Chain A
Amino acid sequence: DIQMTQSPSALSASVGDRVTITCRASQSISSYLAWYQQKPGKAPKLLIYKASSLESGVPSRFSGSGSGTEFTLTISSLQPDDFATYYCQQYNSYPLTFGGGTKVEIK
């Protein structure tokens, strides 16, 4: 199985801050990586796919980069609606696996 490791597991930030979350795969997954945002009591929402492609309707302040084993999700200017937990997921091979999540909290 491909292990996905996210860091940090939690962070505190202020509105307007630039936030970066890292996801590392235990082996190369090419660009088969997705990022999701999840708010309490809700289903995850797809933000980014193929490592850097923005899902339709997602604000442009979200961006993704990386390939192989190292990936990042960047929020260029954190907004109040962005406080949530973020997950990466690889879909290069079965079993599909998720990172442990990064909780973004208000500073």
Chain B
Amino acid sequence: QVQLQESGPGLVKSSETLSLTCIVSGYSITSGYYWGWIRQPPGKGLEWIGSIYHRGSTYYNPSLKSRVTISLDTSKNQFSLKLSSVTAADTAVYFCARDVVPTAGFDSWGQGTLVTVSS
């Protein structure tokens, strides 16, 4: 069964770039589906950041589009998130997930990683 695991710094300074990686096991990311990032500020709801198709096309939330880049590393079976010019409002738990659109939503998730933006 597919498993996802986020990795990256838990603390990022304001105005810098947040970088996270999602390591996928049990399924080749080139075999199909989209691969997405979702975040959840402490005590709040879920916000979709963006998704990347297994062939490389990307879809981003317009509210973040100018600052977000999602990419694949097929040699390592992982995908990555970069969010530039972060502020305190970007403090959240960041989840990676397999996006099985249009069949369903996100059917497999990583455990999530808390990223805190400090001034």
The reply to whether the CB of A74 lies closer than 8 angstroms to some CB of chain B is no
Which A residues from 47 to 83 make CB contacts under 8 A with B? 49-50, 53, 55
Chain A contact surface mostly: loop
User: How far, in whole Å, are A33 and B62 apart by their CA atoms in the complex?
Assistant: 21
Q: Residue of B at shortest CB range from A6?
A: B45
Please tell me the number of chain A residues within 8 Å of chain B, measured between CB atoms. 24
Interface centre among B48, B51, B59, B95 (most CB of A within 10 A): B48
Given contacts A95-B48, A96-B51, A97-B48, contact A43 B61 (CB under 8 A): no
User: How far, in whole Å, are A91 and B112 apart by their CA atoms in the complex?
Assistant: 21
| Residues in B whose Cβ lies below 8 Å from that of A97 | 48
Contact A91 B102 (CB under 8 A): yes
| Residues in B whose Cβ lies below 8 Å from that of A42 | 111-112
Please tell me the number of chain B residues within 8 Å of chain A, measured between CB atoms. 25
Can you offer 21 A-B residue contacts whose CB atoms are under 8 A?
A1-B62, A34-B104, A34-B106, A42-B111, A43-B109, A53-B104, A89-B105, A91-B105, A95-B48, A95-B62, A96-B36, A96-B48, A96-B51, A96-B61, A96-B99, A96-B101, A98-B45, A98-B46, A98-B48, A100-B45, A101-B46
Which residue numbers of B lie inside 8 Å of A, CB to CB? 36, 45-48, 51, 59-63, 95, 97, 99, 101-107, 109-112
